[in-house]
Amino acid sequence: LVKMLSAILLGLIIVLFFVWYNFFSNVARMKRLTANMPKPKEYPIIGAALEFGSTSDTILQAYFRLSKLGPAVQAWIGPELYVVLTDIKDIEMILQSNTVLRKAHIYDLLQPWLGNGVLSSAGDVWRKQRRILTPAFHFRPILEEFCVVFNHNIETLIQKLKEQVGKPGFNVSPFISLCSLDIVAESSMGTKVNAQKESENKFVTAIGHLAFITLYRALRPWLIPEFLFKLSPSGRLYYQQLKVVHDYVGEVVRKRVEERKAGIKVVNDLPGESVYSNKRKALFLDTLLNYNENGVGLSDEEIKNEVNTIMFAGYDTSSSSVSFVLYALMKYPDVQEKVYKELADMFKSKDIVATYEDYQNMRYLECVIKETMRAYTIVPYVGRKMEEDILLPSGYTVPAGASTSLFLYGLHMNEERFPDPTKFDPERFNDEQSTGRSPFAFCPFSAGPRNCIGQKFAMLEVKAMISEIVRNFKILPAINCPEPVIGSELVLVSRTGIYLRLENR
């Protein structure tokens, strides 16, 4: 027995030695390849972790500081190497690559919620998902039906905002978030969660908990290991709320599958019609189920993952975009007046409901939205995991095993691409000034093969919300309310909210 235990112990020691040797030899290799790359101050074990602080605003400030050190900057966080990129040629190379497609490991924190959905998958799985999902967000008849969903949910938003008229100020962000949740839930699942009317709804509160705890975990390295996270109070709450969300989405999918089997024809299933040909209500879930029934689609589990992914990706990004556009319109009244004039020329009455075609014709509003997305980049950075050494155009090498963090916010504040970048100027995006600009100089929805699949949907939603709010209200500065403290959570946010004041038009 003693001999057997000794042999087992010796075997474990040998295994641990090789694990230790491989780890440290890989770290040494990465350090050797990045020896000429600038870096912030580092400390033993934790590396540059203190540089980033522990709140959303200090993290964003750290990225701007790092971007001043050079086009590529290394930052070790414990045993993980991150390379922050701000040079357009470097970013273009990574985003355009058909081989650098794996998302950074930070996206692994979303896996329990989203599964292996299109946001976090890679390789052939991702290519199949992308091929199936793309038409659902680019085919005009479906986008037209999404506009119908936008309009009746925004009508509820307008009624809620009317209750705020006359107040010295209020935080508009929660109103926008709940409306955005109503829109993305109905668009993706075909079900009304009534977030604006029932903000204490279990599903609504669960979505909020999951988003918050994911960020909370990302900022605390000791919670990254799954077994430690599950033992923590935040981990236990996370998995309780996750069950609420997964049960709800699973039930919606199950009921819709049963309806279709029973012959209840709602979407895209009349004889002779293709998946995307019907101009009646065409929702995201039905699009996936149509593909599934044709034998070339996704399993029920994969469908649930994609619905959860669209819910996650479409909720925070759109609501944050709308909140910051409202902030910009409040801050720059001359810009707000131009937007209102464009809308007043299009609609002779506030009772006229905007159509898909109307949204396409809101040219100046689109410039304002794009300038807001430049000045307040909603997704400040995107990450990629390197599976091979990459020599960048700037001359630096990013080694295999490292994660690149493409600092899009820093890219958008580049003086060469956008002169006087702190000035808010929507005319940067008129046809004349946009001509000849690299598509990688401005990429709020990322770019290349892994760009945002729902960017047309998102732009339509933002136009729909902003246009209705401006048609109904003057947006004015709040009185004696907090100023925004801008930081980066899962998306760009103001930690103190977005306070403004409304007057009826």
Binding residues for heme: 452
Host H or E run for residue 93: helix 88-96
The CA-atom distances, in angstroms, between 288 and each of 138, 185, 307 are 14, 15, 9
Host H or E run for residue 344: helix 333-346
How far is the C-alpha of 504 from the C-alpha of 491, rounded, in Å? 31
Closest Cα to residue 404, out of 165, 94, 38?
Answer: 94
Host H or E run for residue 273: none
Q: Residue 159: what residue type?
A: Q
Positive or negative torsion for Cα 435, 437, 440, 443: negative
Residues placed in the known binding site: 452
Q: How is residue 43 annotated by DSSP? A: B
Is residue 501 packed enough to be buried (19+ CB in 10 Å), middle (13-18) or exposed (0-12)?
buried
φ and ψ of 463, to 5 deg: -60, -45
The CA-atom distances, in angstroms, between 182 and each of 177, 189, 262 are 9, 11, 27
CB 473 within 8 A of CB 184: no
Cα three-residue angle 484-490-496, rounded to 5 degrees: 20
Q: Residue 162: what residue type?
A: K
The CA-atom distances, in angstroms, between 443 and each of 254, 270, 483 are 37, 39, 27
In sequence order, what DSSP letters do the residues of 79-114 get, joined into one string?
A: TEEEEEE--HHHHHHHHH-SS--PBPGGGGGGHHHH
CB 373 within 8 A of CB 321: yes
Q: How many residues does the chain have?
A: 505
